[in-house]
Amino acid sequence: MFRTISEHGLQFIKGWEALRLYAYPDPRSDLALQSQSVRRRWGMEPASAILADLPEPVRLLSGAPWTIGYGHTGDVKPDDHITEHQAEELLRFDLSPVEVGVNNVGVPLTQNQFDALCSACFNLGTGILQTHRSLGMALRGIESTPGDALLLYDHAGGHRDTGLTRRRKAEKRLYETPDTEPAA
């Protein structure tokens, strides 16, 4: 049985991903790093309006990859604008390869477990499910529990990130919440 993310799982992910209806530069891009004075405006208004307020040398920096909606980066241009409905459609589209990756784990999962893994993989990439990674080993019964293994993925730039720690704890709680029996 090919499982897809539940409505609850989709809302769970949306709760962790900021909704931005205007395109914004990647937070680690040169443009974003050099435009801290306007960082709260990115994603809230057209990029052209923000860029007009920046000095020319900063305006010329790269913001790639540009992002919109709930973290969508495919074919996004600086002045793109979308509706909330379009943002959800893009999120569902971006979740498709994540669902495939989690379905390919090869172990029975409840819906809550599936949703928690989809959230983690949407944020971190499906590579965390590989057998040689802590989560992949835990899913296969080789190391700790999968819920505990999720907690290991809370670093950004080599440092523990409190936002990621909160997200991983919430994913662990969701993973460990009983709901339905795994599909055969």
Tens digits of pLDDT across the chain (184 residues): 899 999 999 999 999 999 999 999 998 899 999 999 999 999 999 999 999 999 999 999 999 999 999 999 999 999 999 999 999 999 999 999 999 999 998 888 999 999 999 999 999 999 888 865 677 676 666 667 888 888 888 888 788 999 999 999 999 999 999 986 555 4
Which part of the chain is CATH 1.10.530.40?
A: 7-17+84-176
Q: What is the pLDDT of residue 130?
A: 81
Q: What is the pLDDT of residue 116?
A: 96
Q: How far is CA 21 from the centre of its chain?
A: 16
Q: What is the pLDDT of residue 114?
A: 95
User: Has this prediction a pTM greater than 0.75?
Assistant: yes
Q: At what angle do helices 7-16 and 84-103 cross, to 10 degrees?
A: 110
The CATH label, of 3.40.50.720, 3.30.360.10, 3.40.50.300, 1.10.530.40, for the domain at 7-17+84-176 is 1.10.530.40
Q: What is the pLDDT of residue 119?
A: 97
What value does the CA radius of gyration of the chain take, rounded to a whole number of Å?
A: 18
Q: What is the pLDDT of residue 8?
A: 96
State the pairing for strand pair 20-24/67-69.
Answer: antiparallel
Q: What is the pLDDT of residue 184?
A: 43
- Please report where in the chains the tokens 């999720």 appear, as a residue: 150
Q: Is the dihedral of CA 89, 90, 95, 100 positive or negative?
A: positive
